[in-house]
Amino acid sequence: MLNPIQVLCSDITTLSLEAKQSANYTEADIISTVEFNQTGELLATGDKGGRVVIFQREPESKNEPYCQGEYNVYSTFQSHEPEFDYLKSLEIEEKINKIRWLPQQNAAHFLLSTNDKTIKLWKVSERDKRPEGYNLKDEEGRMKDLSTVTSLQVPVLKPMDLMVEVSARRIFANGHTYHVNSISVNSDCETYMSADDLRINLWHLGITDRSFNIVDIKPANMEELTEVITAAEFHPHHCNLFVYSSSKGSLRLCDMRASALCDKHAKLFEEPEDPNNRSFFSEIISSISDVKFSHSGRYLLTRDYLTTKVWDLNMENKPIETYQVHDYLRSKLCSLYENDCIFDKFECAWNGSDSVIMTGAYNNFFRMFDRNTKRDVTLEASRESSKPRAVLKPRRVCAGGKRRKDDISVDSLDFTKKILHTAWHPAENIIAIAATNNLYIFQDKVNSEMH
Amino acid sequence: MEYKVEAHRIMSISLGKIYNSRVQRGGIKLHKNLLVSLVLRSARQVYLSDYYGGACLGSQRAEAGEWAEGETMESLEGRSSPGAAGADSCESETESRETLRAPETNAQASVEVAAERNAEEPASSSDYNWPQGGETDEERAPGQAEDSTQVPSCPVPESRFECGAANADEGPQSPAAAAPCCTRKRSAGKSPYAGSPVKRPRPGSVPPANTEGGDASEDMDTGNVSSLITIFGSSFSGLLSKDGAQAEPGAADGDSGSGTICCEQMLPNLSPWSTAIVAF
């Protein structure tokens, strides 16, 4: 069912270009998170302006087989607003840091969205019928003059144009002193965790005034602070296990059965640093920016500045696979430090079968690595190369040496065009790429030809 | 040598980032500032160690070595508790000095911090204090000889080194000779001794950055720069001062007022710092 990357990289087509068409964008339009739901039917994006846009995949049409599966806007709403903490004289950004969908349990969809401080649970529901024939109200909603009511009628539900309603069901506020960087829904579908720089809290989805602190790495004396939490995720199947990554490049697997406060890890995944690569910036580039469990739950995928690594939960002393994303930047770390690019937090993603991993890079390039064949490909998400139905051409970055035609040299990379957020459909070969203010959705051509 | 230039450049860039982070929207980002402080610390270590390896007495003179020299100085100066009181006045005298003192105090502070880490030096640090203003030349001579040996441990040691060497060579005249070296950085009317380098701070005296910062108003530079170096020398605390969300009671409280000023003053001071090195 799922095609290997060989087909993926050569025949990947643009499914639909859901781009905000303006070339001049405001900072508020920059997409800050992308997430498919568990079925892949819905795709949510959050931006720096605090808005969430949900796309829905159109059902396949038998008449036009090539139009199947396009994602169209389903709903847009303002999730978070800028706030001001008067006590600390701090502005709280409305940027959506993460969105996570809850597994669907009824007709409505639920998602969690978070900014730096507050997590919100949103209910997304459809309304396609409305009641008509009230006794006391007329069609416009005004109260009827009772003297005109001579008989009783039973209101009936009549079809109406589909309306998508979004409402905030829970607001989980005041749980964090530091900036929230991750949220993760537990497989028990009742709890979720939120992680900030120094603490991780466990919440119940139904209770907003209380949360449990399960990890606290804040030292008694802040002068001794050496690392912060950068990402956290629950295990996809075991509701007692979760992992969190640190700025020092280590991963800790914790078991909530062991104790209420999981400061002591069950497993520590850490690779010793290569002394040959030591530089001023070694600590920065070893900081893990994202961690994802594989769908199987057996592996962990991490991303640091230059590499992405696959870890086996059963082996703690080193990753089982390391992929160089853009090693040609290693000699340019100083300039990247100056222009702040070295602090960019790239995300990573698994495909549905855990055979291919994907992550973003600069110049609107993104990379995919096939774990089985060890082949990799670099593709570009750009308006020019992504006309609908166009096939993406693999790109190459030339770091000196023989330069082929169409190669991009390292010095001509555009570091303002970075792909930090990517998502892979849970089952099919459909990927969503956020490039600044544009969202690109690519699909495997072979996949679409099968229909 | 290019390592030092590179390290210096990285340090100034890092300080600029920390300063700018205080005005960024959304508050101070703990993660980013932690990483920047780590880079700053690495650069500072390279900068200091490169100095040891380059200009002075060879790379063998590590930070531990400076204490051996310090102890030699202690015996020579023969100061202990009387020095303590003297140190106070000395310190306040230092506070009122000009920008050249800033790097010197930097050096002292960083040395002091390094010393804290390396040696269990009791509070006989007064031994390392600069001789009093009223000292005679004879008393100065051994002090100057020690200067030259102490110099390696200062980050702005080249200036001191030359001053000290000049002093040692010229004996009693050296204070006068030293004075011209340092005069242009000092305000008029200060005693020649004031310009002489190598004031050793007491290990116990630097941490209260607010004391230094709160002293002579005209020399916020000195106090704040030294406290800034202390902050980054010891750890991460200096970044917490301005951010309400992350500030902890008792963690670098004293830095809160001086923090911003540290950065503000540090950035321009870096240039005169390097100028001083080059000049001497």
pLDDT tens-place string over residues A366-401: 999 999 999 999 999 987 766 667 778 888 898 777
Q: How far is B26 from chain A (nearest CA, A)?
A: 5
Measured between beta carbons, the chain B residues lying within 8 angstroms of A228 are 30-31, 34
| Closest Cβ–Cβ partner in A89, A223, A284 for B35 | A284
Q: Do B159 and B280 touch, CB atoms closer than 8 A? A: yes
List C-alpha distances in Å: A433 to A130, B27, B30: 37, 28, 28
Q: Do A242 and A193 touch, CB atoms closer than 8 A? A: yes
**Is the CB of residue B2 less than 8 Å away from at least one CB of chain A?**
no
In 3D space, the residue among A295, A271, A299 whose CA is nearest the CA of residue A285 turns out to be A271
Given this model, what pLDDT does residue A344 score? 96
Best to test chain B binding among A84, A179, A182, A290 (most B CBs inside 10 Å): A179
User: HSE on the CB side for A9, CA within 13 Å?
Assistant: 20
Given this model, what pLDDT does residue B51 score? 67
Q: How far is A145 from chain B (nearest CA, A)?
A: 55
Given this model, what pLDDT does residue A124 score? 97
Q: Do B147 and B168 touch, CB atoms closer than 8 A? A: yes
Q: Residue B27 — left, alpha, or beta (φ > 0 → left; ψ -120 to 50 → alpha)?
A: left
Residue B244 to residue A87, Cβ atoms within 8 A: yes
Q: Do A243 and A252 touch, CB atoms closer than 8 A? A: yes
Q: Do B220 and B213 touch, CB atoms closer than 8 A? A: yes
Q: Do B230 and B207 touch, CB atoms closer than 8 A? A: yes
Q: How far is CA A46 from the centre of its chain?
A: 9
Residue A70 — pLDDT band, cuts 50, 70, 90? confident
Question: Which two structure tokens, joined as six digits, stand for B264?
Answer: 């503000």
Measured between beta carbons, the chain A residues lying within 8 angstroms of B240 are 222
Residue A280 to residue B42, Cβ atoms within 8 A: yes
pLDDT in tens, A252-269: 999 999 998 988 899 999
Tens of each residue's pLDDT in chain B, 280 residues: 778 888 999 999 999 999 999 888 888 899 999 999 999 999 998 888 866 665 544 444 444 444 444 444 444 444 444 444 444 444 444 444 443 344 444 444 444 343 444 444 444 434 444 444 444 444 444 434 444 444 344 444 444 433 334 444 444 444 444 444 444 444 444 444 444 444 444 444 433 334 333 333 333 444 444 445 554 444 444 444 443 344 333 333 334 344 444 444 444 444 444 333 333 3
- C-alpha dihedral (A316, A317, A321, A326), degrees to nearest 10: 120
Q: Using CA atoms, how far apart are residues A370 and A209, in angstroms rounded to an integer?
A: 45
What residue segments make up the domains of chain A, in order of their start?
A: 32-115+118-137+153-173
Residue B26 to residue A91, Cβ atoms within 8 A: yes
- pLDDT average, residue stretch A235-250: 96
Q: How far is A242 from chain B (nearest CA, A)?
A: 21
Which amino acid makes up residue A416? T
More confident residue, A361 or B227: A361
- Is the four-CA dihedral B31, B32, B37, B40 of positive or negative sign? positive
Helices (H), chain B: 2-21, 30-54, 63-77, 81-95, 101-118, 137-150, 157-170, 174-183, 192-195, 209-214, 220-234, 255-279
Residue B248 to residue A280, Cβ atoms within 8 A: no
Question: Which two structure tokens, joined as six digits, stand for A92?
Answer: 């709280």
Q: Using CA atoms, how far apart are residues B146 and A79, in angstroms rounded to an integer?
A: 67
Question: Which two structure tokens, joined as six digits, stand for B46?
Answer: 């390279």
List C-alpha distances in Å: B14 to A296, A337, B209, B253: 42, 9, 21, 22
Query: What are residue A185's phi and psi, to 5 degrees?
Result: -85, 135
In 3D space, the residue among A65, A70, A69 whose CA is nearest the CA of residue A451 turns out to be A65
Q: Which residue, chain included where needed, has tokens 């939960």? A: A313
SS3 A259: coil
Residue of B nearest to A281 (CA): B39
Question: Which two structure tokens, joined as six digits, stand for A292?
Answer: 């994802």
Measured between beta carbons, the chain A residues lying within 8 angstroms of B30 are 178-179, 197-198, 228
More confident residue, A296 or B141: A296
| A100 secondary structure, DSSP code | E
Measured between beta carbons, the chain A residues lying within 8 angstroms of B29 are 179
Which amino acid makes up residue A62? K
Measured between beta carbons, the chain A residues lying within 8 angstroms of B42 are 280, 283
- Residue A134: CB atoms within 10 A of its CB come to 13
List C-alpha distances in Å: A245 to A230, A269, A359: 6, 9, 17
Spatial strand order of the sheet with A438-444 comes to A12-19, A438-444, A430-435, A421-424
Residue of A nearest to B231 (CA): A223
In sequence order, the 6+-apart residues with CB closer than 8 A to the CB of B254 are B207, B208, B209, B210, B211, B213, B227
Helix B101-118 / helix B63-77 crossing angle, nearest 10 deg = 100
What are the residues of chain A with a beta carbon less than 8 Å away from any beta carbon of chain B?
85, 87-93, 95, 116, 177-179, 181, 197-198, 221-228, 230, 247, 280-281, 283-284, 287, 334, 337-338, 340, 343
Provide ipTM, 2 decimals: 0.89
**Is the CB of residue B237 less than 8 Å away from at least one CB of chain A?**
yes
Measured between beta carbons, the chain B residues lying within 8 angstroms of A178 are 30, 245-246
Residue of B nearest to A83 (CA): B26
Given this model, what pLDDT does residue A382 score? 84
Question: Which two structure tokens, joined as six digits, stand for B184?
Answer: 């242009």
Q: Which helix (H) or strand (E) is A231 found in, with range?
A: strand A229-234
Q: Using CA atoms, how far apart are residues B216 and B35, in angstroms rounded to an integer?
A: 33
| Closest Cβ–Cβ partner in A88, A224, A247 for B35 | A247
β-bridge pairing A109-114 and A71-78: unpaired
Total number of residues shown for chain B: 280
Residue A226 to residue B234, Cβ atoms within 8 A: no
More confident residue, B75 or A116: A116
- Lowest mean pLDDT segment, chosen from A159-163, A222-226, A342-346, B187-191: B187-191
Q: Which helix (H) or strand (E) is A11 found in, with range?
A: helix A5-11
Angle CA A158–A160–A162, to nearest 5: 140
Model-wide pTM > 0.90: no
In 3D space, the residue among B160, B131, B133 whose CA is nearest the CA of residue B147 turns out to be B160
- pLDDT average, residue stretch A175-190: 96
- pLDDT average, residue stretch A338-364: 96
Measured between beta carbons, the chain B residues lying within 8 angstroms of A284 are 35, 38-39
Average pLDDT of chain A, as a whole number? 89
| Closest Cβ–Cβ partner in B7, B236, B244 for A222 | B236
More confident residue, A303 or B173: A303
Best to test chain B binding among A90, A218, A341 (most B CBs inside 10 Å): A90
Question: Which two structure tokens, joined as six digits, stand for A67?
Answer: 């139009």
Total number of residues shown for chain A: 451
Question: Which two structure tokens, joined as six digits, stand for A353?
Answer: 């079968």
